[in-house]
Structure 1
Amino acid sequence: MGESTVDGTRPLVTDPFDAVPELAPLRTAAWDGDWAATQAFFAEITSPADVSFAAALLAGVDRTEWFLEKAAKAQPADPLPRTLLAERYIHLGRRARGRGRAEDVSWDQAELFHDWLRKAERLLIEVCAEQPSYAPAWTARLTTARGLELGQSEARRRYDRLAEHHPHHPHRFRAQSHLLKQLCPEWGGSWEAAHAFAQECANAAPEGSHGGVLVAQAHVEHFSDLEGAEAAEYLRDPSVRDELRHAARVSVLHPDHHRDWHWTDSHSTFALAFSLGGHLGDAARHFAALGDTVSESFWRNVPDWKTRFTEYRTAASATL
């Protein structure tokens, strides 16, 4: 985990490759530009959601497009290298765009963002046409649909195509998270649609899976869209708190839950939602599970988030 800081706390572990040791071989393969090792790593993964998770992590490793482009040319019939390359192009597009809201993104940033997404989309269209049951490609196409502003109907169509071939909800968790974002008002949806979809997924998912995390994601997204007193009160609402409590009980706090690659994201999302709502006693179990590990996914949207994480964690620990 690293050496202690001046105030006695340990540095936060924010890199998923460090949080989940089983992922380390993938990072090593990416650093080495080793396609054979990369392909072997993915060959061992049985869940489509885990393939998408690992693909998104690989996409964040610098300069991976070089060896992925070579692999895609060398194995034109294999959907994996093209899908991984598309995920890398999506990552490069996001980097070019920046994290600001649409109104804060310059024309040049938006154009470069769309250029990268169109390159990714072309690859993914090929893959889905050739192998329509290949879930990782459909999952990635939910991201390109949102970024290219193709609309609610097209995003739903893509999700439904994936669901046709993969009816089990745990295999669709990553895709569900992407569609949930599409259903938010920022992308042409509504809060009613977003919360309804999150609840639908949570209710249909097996107990102990990550389905309930979507409920927390929807509430954090909703909170982030509010301002001032309205934002301050939203997550404090007892009905929201009770929804979060139930979602946590049937997912990551359920006796049947087993720690997997998604554990940091899931506990981090619940810890954030409960903390922002002032429900520190509820946040405590998630902070205890996380320890010094945290996912940046949502926390990075909180000003000075690492300090706030540590402060919330300390306050939550005092409730135990």
Structure 2
Amino acid sequence: MAFWRKRSIVDPDHGDLLARQLRAALTRRDWPTAAGMLSGVRHPDDRDFYLDICSEIDNLQDWIDEWIAAEPGSTLPLLVKGVHGVSWAWEARGGGRASETSHEQFKEFHRRLKTAEDCLDEVVERDPDDTEAWAALVTSARGRRVNREEAERRFGNVVKRHPAHRTAHEQMLQYLCGKWFGSDEEMWEFARAAPLPHLITVAYLETWIEHGREALDNDETRAELRATAQRVDAYPGHRDPGWDTVENVLAFTFCLADDYAAAAERFRRIGDRATDWPWFHLKGGADKQFKLFRTVAFKSAG
């Protein structure tokens, strides 16, 4: 087989060596090595990135209790189990709308999500300053269908410790979408008030999902996206190892808005650092769609 012709440019580890090593350690169930790696990560956004790597490990729930039993005084294995459990729950649910999801899928989804939240609740009870546990609880808030007050409490416990937590903001925006528990107006108000300028592009992505590409095909949107890109470039905050997703969502939304000149500039910055999100929203897979739109952008931009 000509592997060189089928090489994927979507790297789940974002080219990060520690992420690759962490994934390898957890895949072989070497939790002492994984624990040492995670214990050395301090910044909340970095910790969130590496915990997201943990959330992608196949069959982790089969053995994670061994780590918990071996280190009863540590909240780290509980945190890993909880974060993984949230992703594991959504895996059971699938990516369809509620009307497309079976009773059995929902039942397993809620079972797994409760297990995850039990772990995360124990973490924040034992260590109220664990920002990543609170952030994971923001993500799970939609699945557990918690009320607005509870969702805002969880989000508040993140941002009072790290005001610009990237994932928590992205997940709270999801909660406020019309397809979940908010509205277009609430989503946009949140996005425009947030300290992270790229949330504007995420809101446009959600607008496309709900209302179609024509909702972005206007000069006002293109102008705001270009202004947003400038703000992202000037962003003074921390850029975690997964920041490539921000660049990718900028390229994605420029393409949706038919601004291929601006998209081409983002693709030049990205190079081959494609990310699964947001390209997986398009049929054919993230790798294929990234390459396709990059080609179109470069040709359109001359």
Normalized against structure 1, the TM-score is what?
A: 0.87
Select which of 134, 138, 141 maps to 2:137: 141
- Report the alpha carbon displacement of residue 179 of structure 1 after superposing the two structures with TM: 0.6
Q: Residues 281 and 100 of structure 1: is their aligned pair in 2 closer, same or farther, counting only changes over 3 Å?
A: same
- For the Cα contact (< 8 Å) 1:117–1:144, is it kept in 2? yes
Deviation of the 1:103 alpha carbon:
1.3
Equivalent of residue 175 in structure 2, options 169, 179, 182: 182
Percentage of identical aligned residues: 27
* Match in the other structure for 1:119: 115
Question: What is residue 214 of structure 1 aligned with on the other side?
Answer: 199
> Structure 2 regions of 5+ residues with no counterpart?
none
Structure 1 residue ranges (4+ consecutive) displaced by more than 4 angstroms after TM superposition: 255-260
SS at match of 2:217: coil
Task: Give the direction of change, closer, same or farther, for the CA distance of 1:119–1:196 in structure 2 (3 Å limit).
Answer: same
Structure 1 SS opposite 2:179: helix
Q: How many residues align?
A: 299
The answer as to whether partners of 2:93 and 2:105 remain within 8 angstroms in 1 is yes
1:157 to 153, 159, 164: 153
User: Which runs of structure 2 are paired with 1:44-83 in the superposition (5 Å)?
Assistant: 44-83=40-79
Change (3 A) 1:39 1:158: same
Q: Give the whole-Å Cα distance in 2 for the aligned partners of 1:213 and 1:255.
A: 9
1:233-281 Cα offsets, whole Å, 9 max, x none, are: 2112222222221221111x33868864123211111111011111101
The correspondence of residues 227-306 of structure 1 with structure 2, limited to 5 A, is 231-251=212-232, 253-254=233-234, 260-305=240-285, 306=287
1:273-306 deviation line (CA, Å, top 9, x unaligned): 0111111011112211222332122211112244
Shift of 1:138: 0.3
| 2:293 paired residue number | 312
Query: What CA distance in whole angstroms lies between the structure 1 residues aligned with 2:262 and 2:250?
Result: 9
Deviation larger for 54-63 or 269-278:
54-63
Partner of 2:160, secondary structure, is helix
**The one of 77, 85, 93 aligned to 1:97:** 93
Answer whether contact 1:152 1:189 (CA < 8 A) is retained: no
Residue 225 (1) aligns with residue 210 (2): yes
**Structure 1 residues not aligned, in runs of 5+:** 205-210
Letter aligned with residue 214 of structure 2: E
Greater relative contact order: 1 or 2 (C-alpha under 8 angstroms, separation 6 or more)?
A: 2
Distance 1:136 1:256 in 2: 22
Give yes or no for contact 2:197–2:228 (8 Å, CA) kept in 1. Answer: yes
Counterpart of 1:213, as a letter, is H
- Aligned partners of 1:152 and 1:183 also within 8 Å: no
- On the 8 A contact 1:223/1:235 being kept in 2, the answer is yes
C-alpha contact (below 8 Å) 2:26/2:34 kept by paired residues: yes
Alignment of 1:21-40 (within 5 A): 21-40=17-36
- The RMSD of aligned alpha carbons is 2.0
Distance change >3 Å, CA 258–CA 92, structure 1 → 2: closer
Out of 187, 191, 196, the residue aligned to residue 194 of structure 1 is 187
Letter in 1 for 2:274: V
Provide Cα deviations, 1:37-58, integer angstroms capped at 9, x if missing partner: 1111112212112212211221
Evaluate the alpha carbon distance shift between residue 264 and residue 218 of structure 1 in structure 2; reply closer, same or farther with a 3 A threshold.
Answer: same
Following superposition, the deviation at residue 59 of structure 1 comes to: 1.3
1:82, 1:127 within 8 Å by CA — same for their partners in 2? yes
Q: Distance in 1 between matches of 2:12 and 2:289?
A: 20
Whether the 8 Å contact between 1:143 and 1:178 is mirrored in structure 2 is yes
